[in-house]
Chains A and B, each alone.
Chain A
């Protein structure tokens, strides 16, 4: 579990503070670029294609790859800081690249040594990874309906579709989960067998400019309230071949120990958004004047930064940012230190997930509050606040959401001590 990851990191040189500072500077530059072009791709509702070259040039794709595979060796806390900085620039573009960081983090804990050398080596060379997992029915809790049919020559052909395929348009490597069937393509009949047959795979992802590949294609279906520039499309697997060495592990057993890379990177996205909301709200509200007013305040000249509920509002937002920062950083640090070993094993993932749900609730509260404090101009299309409000709504969906977390925790705490035989 996390101890494995900790050990994994202890095997290599940790990223030094100087190395981190240099990488963070790169993240700041990339964040500024994302900030500059983000509004255009939000309006156009497409993936921000020019970011691909910039992202690769930054070298940040290899940030969390251990040094022994040629990467920078950033741990989960350091990676979280990079993600938040990028998200401060543009939440949707960063949410797309967040997929890469999530999959690199998860894969390095699940890959064999040979797979790490091959695929992480590719990441160091600049390749980008994505991992479509959600299906129409299946996803975080639903076992994969997508099938991996064994082939006589070895390997599998994959049939099915994934409906939230973020970052596919920029990716060179695909990871996914599918359930291994019999030779005729029948799913295992018993529940236990089906759990064991659900497997995690990695393969080359090679599609043309229209998203068409050999047995795999991207169908551009993304059209959502927010997070427009993520390029989250439907990925069709239509007999996509994965050779034997593309099998990684049994999915549920493997994912159990590495899901913090998903949960905490999502938390980092929403923490970065909180930084941005506070920054933008301060910028507007510190300068705004209302002139002569005759309402709740009757005065010849009303400066909003002197208005009680504005002051309180900014203070409240700043408090939420600081609390969220501490929750995310502390959770990351506890994982780095192996302190999660002291948590009940059944509660490990929901406890890690609390950082994400906390940031999610705070960012949604903050975007709404910021619009209220700034006033009607924030509601107009193109205003950063309306954009952040839409984007923050995406935080309700990535697992674990608040309801799932509470259900997990409550169920475990109310369960009888006796074994369930």
Chain B
């Protein structure tokens, strides 16, 4: 059973963390001259989040699905929850096919070392929303 109630909760929690992500100075600097637009496709519950780094905007749901992206990232919502807390080894998850990355992915992978500050942001969002049960020990 998923840790998230439904897609709306995914958008309220992970979507909000992504909004912080696109204005995070390290990400802005690293992506300002590129075309990195990541479509995160989550399963269980099914959810779509589009993270437009150069445009510094986030779309969710049908709007995300309809927009064009340069990188597509697939993972379960549970694994997304772990990943945004720094609790999912991305290389191992790819090797075990728990995460699928398609498209022009090198810029996206180059951002992985920059994700640290987002972990704290996401954990704060979970706490603020009263979902400390989603925190991974």
Give residues in A with beta carbon < 8 Å to B: 1-4, 7, 192, 195-196, 252-253, 256-257, 338, 340-342, 344-346, 415, 419-421
Contacts and interface: CB of A to CB of B under 8 A. Distances in A.
Contacts of B107: 3
12 contacts: A3-B110, A7-B110, A192-B92, A195-B89, A195-B91, A341-B105, A345-B94, A419-B97, A419-B98, A419-B99, A420-B97, A421-B79
A340 B92 CA distance: 20
Given A419-B97, A421-B43, 18 more contacts: A1-B110, A4-B106, A4-B110, A7-B110, A192-B89, A192-B92, A195-B92, A196-B92, A253-B89, A253-B91, A257-B109, A341-B105, A345-B101, A419-B74, A419-B76, A419-B100, A420-B96, A420-B98
A252 B98 contact: no
Contact of B89 (A2, A196, A342, A421): A196
B57 interface: no
Contacts of B90: 253
B75 interface: yes
Contacts of A420: 96-98
Contact of A345 (B75, B78, B105): B105
Contact of B91 (A252, A344, A421): A252
A252 B107 CA distance: 19
- Sorted nearest first, the 6 A-B pairs with minimum C-beta distance are A3-B106, A420-B97, A253-B91, A341-B106, A1-B106, A421-B76
B91 A338 contact: no
Interface in B59-106: 74-76, 78-79, 89-92, 94-102, 104-106
B106 A2 contact: yes
Interface residues of B, number: 26
Contacts of A345: 94, 101-102, 105
Q: Which of B76, B97, B99 has the most CB of A within 10 A?
A: B97
Nearest to A415: B97
Contacts of A252: 91-92
A341 to B, nearest CB: 5
A421 B98 CA distance: 6
A340 B104 CA distance: 9
Contacts of B94: 345-346
Contacts of B91: 195, 252-253, 256
A345 B94 CA distance: 9
A4 B98 CA distance: 24
B43 A419 contact: yes
Contacts of B98: 419-421
A143 B88 CA distance: 18
Q: Which of B43, B90, B99, B100 has the most CB of A within 10 A?
A: B100
Contacts of A4: 106, 110
Contacts of A195: 89, 91-92
Contacts of A7: 110
Contacts of B109: 1, 257
Contacts of B89: 192, 195-196, 253
Q: Which of B92, B97, B106 has the most CB of A within 10 A?
A: B106
Nearest to A196: B89
Contacts of B76: 419, 421
Contacts of B44: 421
Contacts of A346: 94-95
B57 to A, nearest CB: 24
A345 B103 CA distance: 9
A195 to B, nearest CB: 5
B108 to A, nearest CB: 10
B106 A338 contact: yes
